[in-house]
Amino acid sequence: MNANKKSNFIRQALLLGLFSTLGPFTIDMYLPAFPEIVEQLGSSASLVQFSLTACLLGLGIGQLVMGSLSDVYGRRIPLLISMAFYVASSLACAFSPNIVLLILFRFIQGVAASAGIVISRAIVRDLYSGHELTRFFSLLLLVGNLGPLVAPVAGSGVLSVTSWIGVFIFLAVLGIYLLSVTKWSLKETLPVDRRSPSNFGQQLRNYGSLLRDRQFVGYMLAQGIMIAGVFAYVSGTPFIYQNIYGVSPTVFALLFGSNGVSLIIGSQIVGRLAHRVSERSLLLFGLCLALLASIIVVVVTLVQGPLFMLVIPLFIFVASIGITSTAAFPLAMESQANQAGSAAALLGVIPFLLGAVVAPLVGIAGEDTAVPLGIIILITSIAAMLAYFLLVRRGTSAPKLNTVGQKAV
């Protein structure tokens, strides 16, 4: 890759990575404020956790809508409108007088944020394919995964000078910045002749054809179920670290943010090895690593081991998500050039829908035990492994991706 192409490669990754960080910031920034929100809104821990569930539902459902709209109207217009809604909903969250309205506005905020996630990934498929798609996606994740690293620390920093309200005002400012980026820096990447017809029935048929594709569904589930395990971690660790192990909000933010490093490590392993090791082999390695780490987490939670014995396998578990996500995405997207928005939407919606289901289950046994977290991530690891072997390995062999972006014969 020559210097000019490499420079453009990096610039595009930085630009699109900004939109990828919107999801982690929307999810993670207010996590250190959970105990404060419970107190100030006179709510319960489970209801505050449900505000996270509402956001995850919005992020999931919104991707289905935004993915289809971006296939019909191009990438820029749906993104512009969504960023405007994101700003408005963030401000509404900041001034919510009760937990019910906070839950409602968090759902709307999630729907608006979903456009940044799904459309940025559709743009990647518009621009690249083959091993270049894998390499670019790993670079995109390098930028996007800074979100989980920075968001809780930023949230803790905001909370040190103001209340949880300031967190949502910060998100509104972030939305204004991304709105300006969309308006002035983002070019349209989907030509008119490649857009889907503005027909609701056709959009449903696009989703139907994707769901009948055994290989696509296998990769989608393997990736989605694994990421759902991370949402269990996201929902449970604010209470596990702070209530059970007694760490401060600042220490929690550092522990939580360290997993952004593990995501980066996992994604970059795939990017570095893409030319030498097949994406399917890397995906299987990530699934095996996740299973091993989740078994250790279960053991540690059952014997109530010290904090470091829990943090280390969770770090490894999250790193395995970086591996599986980076490997599964190009495998699933390679043959979806004409419906990249819809395909990216399905790849994005499954993790959030499954995450919305598992997130509240972490607190089902109360705030004084970490055992449900261990059990849930073990179940997700096993389920993802089954999806891979039953749908991918038993199906037609996936083509090896080559360096020029074509399927190898």
Instruction: Spell out the alpha helix ranges (H) of 74-129.
Output: 76-94, 99-127
Is residue 403 situated within a structural domain? no
Give me the number of domains the chain comprises: 1
> In the predicted model, is pLDDT for residue 107 greater than 90?
yes
Is residue 306 situated within a structural domain? yes
Contact 83, 116 (CB under 8 A): yes
Is residue 37 situated within a structural domain? yes
**Predicted model pTM:** 0.71
- pLDDT (tens digit per residue) in 53-95: 899 889 888 888 898 889 889 999 999 999 999 999 999 999 9
Pick from 189, 166, 113: which is nearest to 144 by CA? 113
Mean pLDDT computed over 270-289: 88
Is residue 195 situated within a structural domain? no
CATH code of the domain covering residue 208: 1.20.1250.20
Number of helices (H), then strands (E), belonging to the chain: the values are 16, 0
- pLDDT (tens digit per residue) in 164-190: 999 999 999 999 999 999 999 888 988
Contact 113, 26 (CB under 8 A): yes
Q: What whole-number distance in Å separates Cα of residue 14 and Cα of residue 125?
A: 16
CA dihedral 8, 10, 16, 18 (to 10 degrees): -130
Give the H/E segment covering residue 368. none
> In the predicted model, is pLDDT for residue 128 greater than 70?
yes
Contact 60, 50 (CB under 8 A): no
Is residue 344 situated within a structural domain? yes
Is residue 7 situated within a structural domain? no
Q: Distances from the Cα of 177 to the Cαs of 87, 126, 150, 216, 274, in angstroms? A: 10, 24, 17, 35, 34
Is residue 406 situated within a structural domain? no
> In the predicted model, is pLDDT for residue 6 greater than 80?
no
Phi, then psi, of 88 in degrees rounded to 5:
-65, -45
Is residue 404 situated within a structural domain? no
- pLDDT (tens digit per residue) in 328-359: 988 888 777 667 788 888 887 887 778 778 87
Residue 253 belongs to domain spanning: 13-185+202-393
Percentage of the chain lying above the pLDDT 90 cut: 30
User: Average per-residue pLDDT in the chain?
Assistant: 84
Q: Distances from the Cα of 111 to the Cαs of 65, 115, 139, 276, 325, in angstroms? A: 9, 7, 25, 38, 22
